[in-house]
Amino acid sequence: MNLAQRVKSLKSSPTIALNSRVQQLSKEGHDIVNLTVGEPDFATPLAIVERAIAALQQGRTKYGPAGGGLALRQAVSSKLLQENRLAYAPEEIVAGCGAKEILCHLFLALVNPGDEILLPAPYWVSYEDQIKLAEGRPQIIPPEVDRANHLLLTPAMLERFATPRTVGLVLCSPNNPAGSVLSPESLLELGAYLTSKNWWIISDEIYEYFSFETPHRSLLELYPELRSRFILVNGLSKSFAMTGWRVGYAAGPAAVIGAVKTLQSHSSTCLPPFIEAAAEWALSQGAELMRVEIAAMKAKRDLVVELAQQLPDIEFFSPQGAFYLFMDLRPLLAKSEQYANGSSLAWCEALLDQQKVAVVPGEAFGTPGYLRISYACSPEKIREGFRRLALFIKA
């Protein structure tokens, strides 16, 4: 008996695999500086935890409704209106077990076999395989930067890769892994272009609180005429340091949201009601609850930029958000016969073996020759990681 072809074509998540290896090396006694982790290093606020405990004590331990309870969807609706200036009714909102599950169900709901989805690189690791799981074809758009090393996304870039089979576009701003943020000017240009296309627009906005230079803005706020084709995806994992709680949501056309809810009813069933209670309260508090933590993350962004500028033969995208620095190793790799093929995978493996620093190679994000550093850790770890990284480059 053979496995289904759709599964054979998938790769396991490289970031999760790397983190597992790092944990194993740490258990063996190695002093690892782990710069791979895609989650905030601060704890979930105690007040959120207390809401979940209270809900457990009140007996909220049974099944909840698929798609999220009404109170949670109302909390999301209020959040979108107050923070994003977007009006969505509760029936246009679905909540589920993390934004990852929501995204997977969205692709299953929207993509037919052979349909193409435009996927700007570098991209979060799971987009590509989720599109393939839905039997679609990811059309990878290579990265381009401006003079300030800001990652670009322009109509001309999209037009070069669009075909008659194109049915959608994935946006991610602030971006994982590049840390880039689409400027209001870029959003205006993209929106004007997308109004002429009959494409789904899947906008992953999960890092919205970590937009350091300018307040986060959703494309839909600027172009409400895209509403019938726009699906906003977000969650509480990054914003409130609730990665393990697995709360994600989407807002969009009622038919799409209903399809995601139906898929959820046959997979994860529901969010635990006691977690919903904690999420409702967190959403009601908004970004102000995390003001100190967000400021601390911005300070760490400034630190990694300062340290990266001191590394020879290394360029990087200018990070304006999220908590990642995306480095271009290609000039460095070109100087070494050992890495002349332009792959950063072997380079990152050697860095882990020789200096015990863990980073994620660019192959995971559709960009060989790059690497991602997460600075969601202590300033001391960041400094030590860059000290070892400088030693490795020198050697």
Please identify, among 287, 317, 338, the residue that sits at the C-terminal boundary of a domain: 287
164 preceded by a cis bond (ω within 30 of 0): no
Integer Cα distance of 216 and 174 in angstroms: 8
Please identify, among 252, 287, 322, the residue that sits at the C-terminal boundary of a domain: 287
Q: Which of 176-180, 199-203, 337-341 is predicted least confidently?
A: 337-341
Q: How far is CA 281 from CA 86, 138, 207, 295, in A?
A: 20, 37, 19, 22
Integer Cα distance of 275 and 261 in angstroms: 18
Q: Kindly state whether residues 131 and 272 are assigned to the same domain.
A: yes
DSSP 184-210: HHHHHHHHHHHTTS--EEEEE-TTGGG
Domain containing 378 — which CATH number?
Answer: 3.90.1150.10
Q: Kindly state whether residues 228 and 322 are assigned to the same domain.
A: no
SS3 1: coil
Specify the higher pLDDT residue, 342 or 362: 362
For residue 84, give its domain range.
Answer: 46-287
Q: Kindly state whether residues 274 and 177 are assigned to the same domain.
A: yes
Q: Kindly state whether residues 191 and 228 are assigned to the same domain.
A: yes
Q: Kindly state whether residues 332 and 252 are assigned to the same domain.
A: no
What mean pLDDT comes out for the span 104-133? 97
Q: Kindly state whether residues 282 and 258 are assigned to the same domain.
A: yes
Q: Kindly state whether residues 300 and 349 are assigned to the same domain.
A: yes
Domain containing 193 — which CATH number?
Answer: 3.40.640.10
CB 15 within 8 A of CB 38: yes
Q: How far is CA 242 from CA 101, 282, 300, in A?
A: 15, 10, 20
How confident is the model at residue 57, as a pLDDT?
A: 98
Q: Kindly state whether residues 310 and 282 are assigned to the same domain.
A: no
* Helix (H), strand (E) counts: the chain: 15, 13
Q: Kindly state whether residues 297 and 192 are assigned to the same domain.
A: no
Partners of residue 24 on adjacent β-strands: none
Residue 42 pLDDT exceeds 90: yes
CB 132 within 8 A of CB 9: yes
What mean pLDDT comes out for the span 222-241? 98
Q: What percentage of the chain exceeds 90 in pLDDT?
A: 86
Rounded to 5, what percent of the chain is helix, strand, coil? Answer: 50, 15, 35
Q: 373 φ, ψ to 5°? A: -110, 130
Q: Kindly state whether residues 95 and 204 are assigned to the same domain.
A: yes
Q: Kindly state whether residues 254 and 295 are assigned to the same domain.
A: no
How confident is the model at residue 24, as a pLDDT?
A: 86
Residue 343 pLDDT exceeds 90: no
Please give the mean pLDDT across all residues of the chain: 94
DSSP 288-318: GGGHHHHHHHHHHHHHHHHHHTTSTT-EE--
How confident is the model at residue 236, as a pLDDT?
A: 98
What mean pLDDT comes out for the span 172-197? 96
Q: Kindly state whether residues 24 and 54 are assigned to the same domain.
A: no
Question: Nearest-5° angle of CA 197, CA 198, CA 199?
Answer: 95
How confident is the model at residue 339, as a pLDDT?
A: 76
Band of the pLDDT at 91, cuts 50, 70, 90?
Answer: very high
Rounded to two decimals, the pTM is 0.95
Please identify, among 287, 303, 328, the residue that sits at the C-terminal boundary of a domain: 287
SS3 118: strand
Q: How many domains does the chain have?
A: 2
